[in-house]
Amino acid sequence: MSWEGYRLAFVDRLMNRPLAGLAAGIIAAASGVALWLLYGPSPLKLLSDFKAFRAWILLAGSSALILAVGGWWTVFTWRRIWRRGRSERERILYDYGVRGFGVFGSVGILFLTTWLGWTVDAAESRGLFGPLMTGGLLLGVFVGVPLSLQMGYFWGVLFAALVGPAADPRTDRGEPPKVT
């Protein structure tokens, strides 16, 4: 069976740009701050209440930092493990594990976090794109995707160790080739 997993060539080209990690971190941090600007307290209330202003700065800054690290981690994980296997063992790790199990897990986490936020926002009549749905989507993209790809790699390592062939030093030298 010669299943090679998903290619996702457009995403792969974006992730392999020279400053993609920095750009993803900046976009994620800006998205976190924008979420607090759109759905947080009004600027007049913040200016009149110093404690609320400090709390807003702390919450917006911490969410921006968490999402910035998540954006960088997404690009780092993609570059590190989005590969095509050469041997049977590497095909289990990368083709079935990362590009099979990891991609399905990423899609599942994106749907789950977005749906959970949407159900709470809809129950509170906040509209379609409420703060929890948007926050769930951002966390799904910038934390769930790299976590799912790493879990796909871990699944591939375990599956290769249990039922796959042993590593062949003639073919498993260095990193496998990038997906093209």
- The string of pLDDT tens digits covering residues 97-108 is 998 899 999 999
Quick count: other Cβ atoms within 10 Å of Cβ 17? 12
DSSP notation for 106-126: HHHHHHHHHHHHHHHHHHTT-
How high does pLDDT run on average in the chain?
A: 87
pTM greater than 0.95 (yes/no)? no
Among 93, 106, 119, residue whose Cα is nearest residue 148: 106
Q: How far, in Å, CA of 113 to CA of 127, rounded?
A: 17
Residue 1's pLDDT band (cuts 50, 70, 90): very low
pLDDT tens column, 71-128: 999 999 999 998 888 888 888 888 889 988 999 999 999 999 999 999 988 887 777 7
Please name which of 91, 100, 104 lies closest in space to residue 2, comparing C-alpha atoms.
91
How many angstroms from the chain centroid is the CA of residue 178? 19
Residue 172: name the closest of 91, 97, 103, 117 by CA.
91
Under 8 Å CB-to-CB from 44, ≥6 apart: which residues?
none
